[in-house]
Amino acid sequence: MAAALAGADVVVDVSNSPSFEQRAVLDFFTTSTTNLLEAEKAAGVGHHVALTIVGTNRPQQIPYFAAKMAQELIIRESGMPYSLVHATQFFEFLGSIADISVVGGEIRLPGALCQPIAAADVATAVAQTAAGAPVNGDIEIAGPEQFGLDEWIRRGLAFRKDPRRVVRDDTAPYYGAAIDERTLVPVDGARIFATTLEEWLPANPPRK
């Protein structure tokens, strides 16, 4: 790692755990983040940028979010100049969210609000953050439209002619836990990007 960071001014961490199992994902983010920050300090890096999720700082019991919260805390307490970019759900996650939400042949999702964003817009936000001064705090980014989770997935699958039925079920979990209506939407003052679901869908057919 020392060789990789030699001469670096900024480090951007967009790494992700290979497993979302509760213990595994927590171990991944705490271990990798601790190791990376220690190496950055030794190399004289001046800005640590990490990509995280809108909603980690709100009441919820999602194991993945808990692991990201632990990562954020390590960064905040590290003494390194930092910026945390909190993104909403990527449009690109549409298919995987549908797949993990199948119950009895139906896709069951709560009507909790989300404001998904294109991955290209996330990349722009992260790059611009890395090029700027550390904020030593949080930046929230989102797409331009709010949907219920069920509505977003239903519209996406309908466009792709996916015949699976999407059912609104406000008791259904999202990544393993119940969420409130506004857990996944950004705070006032978030940076809003322009790409809409209608624009994104035709340019991003599902992978075969």
Domains in the chain: ranges and CATH: 9-203 (3.40.50.720)
Q: Which residues make beta-bridge pairs with 167?
A: 108
pLDDT tens digits, residue range 5-34?
999 999 999 999 998 888 999 999 999 999
Phi/psi of residue 47, nearest 5 degrees: -160, 120
DSSP 8-state symbol, 78: S
Alpha-carbon span 43 to 76, nearest angstrom: 19
10 Å Cβ neighbour count for 182? Answer: 14
- What pTM was computed for the model? 0.93
Q: Contact at 8 Å (CB) between 98 and 127?
A: no
What is the predicted pLDDT for the residue at 192? 97
